[in-house]
Amino acid sequence: MSSDYEQYKASLEGRREDSSRYWTVFGVMAAVNGAMLTFINSTEPTVPTLYMAVFGILISLVWLGPQLRLSAWVKWCEKKLIVLEVNMPELERLFTNRQLDSKNPFRVGFSTRIGGVILPSLFTVAWFVVAIRYR
């Protein structure tokens, strides 16, 4: 029992840390990409737009890697937490019985983590469009 509880605490902490890292990376990379996009229509660009577009493509693709990896770790921790909650009836249910149904609004609809993975892809497409336009 004590071992299960320690595993639960470690998994909950791992989920919290990975989720925090996920959103930190998301915020920084979204800000960097957004700032770079603002310089595209500059009257006197300091860096040629094509170079900036290629750099934007690379940054967006690099950004996608950690987002996918951290999202997978968060999901892995949640699955482990569900198994541990089933085996420990005295715990408050944070992850158990949260399926897609109308009785549970926490798991219904669009996940913000999915949006955090889609945005790097959208920025990649935007940078390709900029590269084609300014080549």
Residues near 75 by beta carbon (within 8 Å), at least 6 away in sequence = none
pTM score: 0.76
pLDDT digits (tens, 9 = 90+) for 1-59: 568 889 989 999 999 999 999 999 999 999 999 998 888 877 776 778 888 999 999 99
* Cα dihedral: 108, 30, 75, 89 (round 10): -70
Of 109, 110, 120, 111, give the one whose Cα is nearest residue 26. Answer: 120
Question: Rounded to an integer, what distance in angstroms lies between the CA atom of residue 35 and that of residue 39?
Answer: 7
Separation of CA 22 from chain center: 5
Q: What are phi and psi of 84, to 5 degrees?
A: -70, -35
Cα dihedral angle (47, 49, 51, 52), rounded to 10 degrees?
80
Place 97 in a pLDDT band, splitting at 50, 70 and 90.
low
